[in-house]
Structure 1
Amino acid sequence: MSDPARIVIIGGGYVGATTARQLRKRLTDGEAQLTVIDPRSYMTYQPFLAEAAAGSVEPRHVVVPLREVLPGCKVMAAEATGVDTAAKSVTLEVADGHVEQIGYDVLVVAPGSVSKTLPIPGLAEHGIGFKTLEEAIYLRNHVLSRLDLAASTVDPDLRRKLLTFMFVGGGYAGIEAMAELEDMARHALKDYAIDRSELRWVLVEAADRIMPEVSSSLASYTLDVLAKRGFEIHLGTTLKSCEDCHVVLGDDTEFDADTIVWTAGVKPSPMLADTDLPLHPTGRVCCATTLEVDGAPGAFSAGDAAAVPDVTSKQPGAICAPSAQHASRQAGVLAKNIEAALRGGPLQGYRHSYAGSVASLGLYQGVAQIYGVKLRGWPAWALHRAYHLMTMPTAHRKTRIAADWLISLPFRRQIVATGEQQHPRQQFVRASRA
């Protein structure tokens, strides 16, 4: 009897976790040993980050512990720092800085993506992204703490700065995060001596429209909804500088903002640059439609880190966009193809036509475009929740999220900033200076 195949999965996000779960169901215990490598021991369901930041969903309920959903798999809380396809080995670094190497027979490269930042003066010091649960929780506490501080100062300039919130990037992530947080802050004002007109929410987008995933009519509708809620929108312009929280835009607009959120796109995980994997000009791993890595036998890739040919596009050389929709569907094809590769069967190509998108714009507001059908307002918001609840992994998490929503119907959101969460050692630092 041959030894079990060593399947190593880099990345415990949606692609990595879903692929591992499906392989556990498809393969017998004697066929394979599965190892999942990720610095975090949980998968974050990113479509719910905006609701977690706004307090509609308990943050713990939008993450799925890998060890809970991957019984029989070895989960390593480590960071993959290199891949040698010739030696079929992965180099990883564990928490204490110890470096190890593990071999593989089948490799899945799915480290996902990170925020795509630019060398803008002040951005590294004052910007905050919106890709992780930690960032979502931080941003929620930060926004609420600005209300606390603004209500406690008599300095009009400081108050104006504290109550100015700027978001750079008009894609789905930026629009949902900004709309949900504005909705939360507006509902919180009844507890503060702050008038709604004092809140300044600014959206900056380099393109001449927002939300390219939907039709121009739905994008225009979204702009109208945001404008009626008081959002200040700058299209076709960029952020030039935000040093000392003084914002300068490409259209020469200047103001002070104590909250600067960067959601202007993503880029593949930087770890890919330290491998010998073939990389696309976008920095993603070059793959065939079967999700096999070009020129690397036994290696597969999918999700945000993979440059998978988009066979449904009329553009020559088009690749699939880095979206949750592609990642979820590629994971299913990936698991089937790994099973086929181990058993000597034919591999299938990935082909997916765009199904549509759904987005929440705060409580009871949203937009959706599904298979050509356009929805607005409450129906779109309800569809957004229903769709993502359906695709959320595990019945356990689905139930808890549904319970969060039901509890919030008769009661208002829990609106409180827990500042110590950002600086848990603050008391020790103060004591050391005394």
Structure 2
Amino acid sequence: MRRPRIVIVGAGFAGFQAARTLARLARGRADLMVINPTDYFLYVPLLPEVAGGLLDPRRVVVSLTDALPGVRLILGEADGIDLGARTVRYTDPEDGPGEIRYDRLVLAAGSVNKLLPIPGVAEHAHGFRGIPEALYLRDHVIRQMELADAARDPAERAARCTFVVVGAGYTGVEVTAHGVLLTEALRRRLPRLRAEPRWLLLDVAPRVLPELDERLSRTAERVLRRRGVEVRTRTSVEVAEPGGVRLTGGRRVPTRSLIWCVGVRPDPLVEALGLETRRGRLVVDAYLNVPGHPEIFACGDAAAVPDANRPGGVTPMTAQHAVRQGRLAARNVAASYGTGVMSPYRHRELGFVVDLGGGQAAANPLRVPMSGLPAKAVTRGYHLLSLPGNRTRTAAEWVLNALLHRQVVQLGLVRSPLVPLETAAPELPLVPH
């Protein structure tokens, strides 16, 4: 008999775990394929350290072919699914079309930047979703500080030294925390600079990290304010322009740096299926199965998975849920072929960690609130345990960073047009500028 073909769309947290678990369970009895635009799994939580110049970008990626033996990687961006024919259409990195048939489909397409209808944001803001964005942001911050050092006009110097971050969730808080330390290091290297770096963190919510426990929120805000960050809640950008932004309330802030960390939305591939969705996420049952399509499973940010702890609610779009759902989707796919039995998704929160750079962090492992060096140790330990590779190299770089000066030079790898905020644009290769 022909071996069943299982196709996994996406190799983020959910897709990677689904592929790895299926490879272990299938033991060669099924053809496993992953469709992904890159040949690596990206550990997104450490991207702020890449942007801050602390980690080499190779430390936060893991080769899919090395980590997923027995799984065939198809490089491409999935752009359509024919439910009747059971095929997935994709476009490879050189714009060549492709199509692959499936017997079982695991949809783990993830998410993209969430844009708001604010004039000028798509043109002048930069998101923070991948390695190109992190490398560009690092170069951009260093370049602005160095250009400010050479500028004669005080207004230009002030604008170049002003950095506006919109969104005070995980990403925005960590990007700001590491960004401040990067500009502090630059300031020491540029002793003649006649302008102080200025960071603004904006959010329409009443506090930073609104999705987390208030004690974590207070710790993060206290650390940021102590470093001079202007935290402005219930505030956002009204208009973005080439030379600045206008905030809600009318005040204009001259800046050359608008960093967009507002949040994410499910990949548009999900809505294009024509199946039932909930806030853009594909509706699934407790077994991560799409109603009416026993051959399709969905997990991670792409799926509206029922939350057993909140009847009527769905699980939030976090890495913790994506990892667990990816593993369960794999087990339930295997069960659909007679290996094991299907199980519903249940979870118990283990706590959250927020890296604030330097020796600072906020964490609540098993709901025990922590801050300072103990929280930093927990945060580093959590990331090392969660990384599916590069643990020794990452730990070694952390040790070296504690002993040596931070490297603050431009690499010149990524130009601004190659990191558009509009995530519907195709991913473009890195080129020198």
Q: TM-score range by the shorter chain?
A: over 0.9
- Which piece of structure 1 moves more, 218-227 or 172-181? 218-227
Alignment of 1:214-233 (within 5 A): 214-233=212-231
| 1:305 aligned onto 2:302 | yes
Determine the C-alpha separation between the residues in 2 that align with 1:308 and 1:116.
20
Q: Return the offset for 1:345.
A: 4.2
Letter in 1 for 2:130: T
Query: In structure 2, the residue corresponding to 1:362 is in which secondary structure?
Result: coil
Relative to structure 1, the CA distance from residue 339 to residue 194 in structure 2 (aligned partners, 3 Å threshold; closer, same or farther) is farther
Letter in 2 for 1:398: R
Q: Percent identity?
A: 38
| 1:376 aligned onto 2:371 | yes
Alignment of 1:11-410 (within 5 A): 11-29=10-28, 31-193=29-191, 198-280=196-278, 282-313=279-310, 316-343=311-338, 345-394=340-389, 397-410=390-403
Relative to structure 1, the CA distance from residue 400 to residue 277 in structure 2 (aligned partners, 3 Å threshold; closer, same or farther) is farther
Aligned partner of 1:6 in structure 2 is 5
Give TM-score scaled by structure 2 length: 0.93
Q: Deviations over 1:372-425 (max 9, x none)?
A: 20001111112111101111003xx11110111122222111111123543887
Aligned partner of 1:422 in structure 2 is 415
Aligned partner of 2:427 in structure 1 is none
Determine the C-alpha separation between the residues in 2 that align with 1:135 and 1:420.
11
Determine the C-alpha separation between the residues in 2 that align with 1:33 and 1:425.
36
- Which piece of structure 1 moves more, 83-92 or 138-147? 83-92
Q: Deviations over 1:341-387 (max 9, x none)?
A: 11164310011122211011111001011222000111111211110
Q: Return the offset for 1:195.
A: 5.9
Tell me if the contact between 2:107 and 2:299 (Cα under 8 Å) persists in the aligned partners. yes
Tell me if the contact between 2:208 and 2:217 (Cα under 8 Å) persists in the aligned partners. yes
Determine the C-alpha separation between the residues in 2 that align with 1:251 and 1:333.
47
Relative to structure 1, the CA distance from residue 426 to residue 404 in structure 2 (aligned partners, 3 Å threshold; closer, same or farther) is closer
Relative to structure 1, the CA distance from residue 425 to residue 137 in structure 2 (aligned partners, 3 Å threshold; closer, same or farther) is closer
Query: In structure 1, the residue corresponding to 2:316 is in which secondary structure?
Result: coil
Q: Return the offset for 1:213.
A: 3.4
- Which piece of structure 1 moves more, 414-423 or 261-270? 414-423
Determine the C-alpha separation between the residues in 1 that align with 2:178 and 2:126.
16
- Which piece of structure 1 moves more, 401-410 or 416-425? 416-425
Tell me if the contact between 2:266 and 2:280 (Cα under 8 Å) persists in the aligned partners. yes
Aligned partner of 2:421 in structure 1 is none
Q: Return the offset for 1:19.
A: 1.2
Determine the C-alpha separation between the residues in 2 that align with 1:392 and 1:344.
28
Determine the C-alpha separation between the residues in 2 that align with 1:10 and 1:388.
25
Relative to structure 1, the CA distance from residue 213 to residue 379 in structure 2 (aligned partners, 3 Å threshold; closer, same or farther) is farther
Aligned partner of 1:430 in structure 2 is none
Tell me if the contact between 2:135 and 2:414 (Cα under 8 Å) persists in the aligned partners. no
- Which piece of structure 1 moves more, 220-229 or 316-325? 220-229
Q: Return the offset for 1:335.
A: 1.7
Tell me if the contact between 2:59 and 2:394 (Cα under 8 Å) persists in the aligned partners. yes
Structure 2 gap ranges (5+)? 417-429
Determine the C-alpha separation between the residues in 2 that align with 1:325 and 1:253.
39
Structure 1 gap ranges (5+)? 428-434
Relative to structure 1, the CA distance from residue 344 to residue 400 in structure 2 (aligned partners, 3 Å threshold; closer, same or farther) is closer
Give TM-score scaled by structure 1 length: 0.93
Letter in 1 for 2:374: P
CA RMSD of aligned residues (A): 1.7
- Which piece of structure 1 moves more, 326-335 or 411-420? 411-420
Q: Return the offset for 1:193.
A: 2.9
Query: In structure 2, the residue corresponding to 1:309 is in which secondary structure?
Result: coil
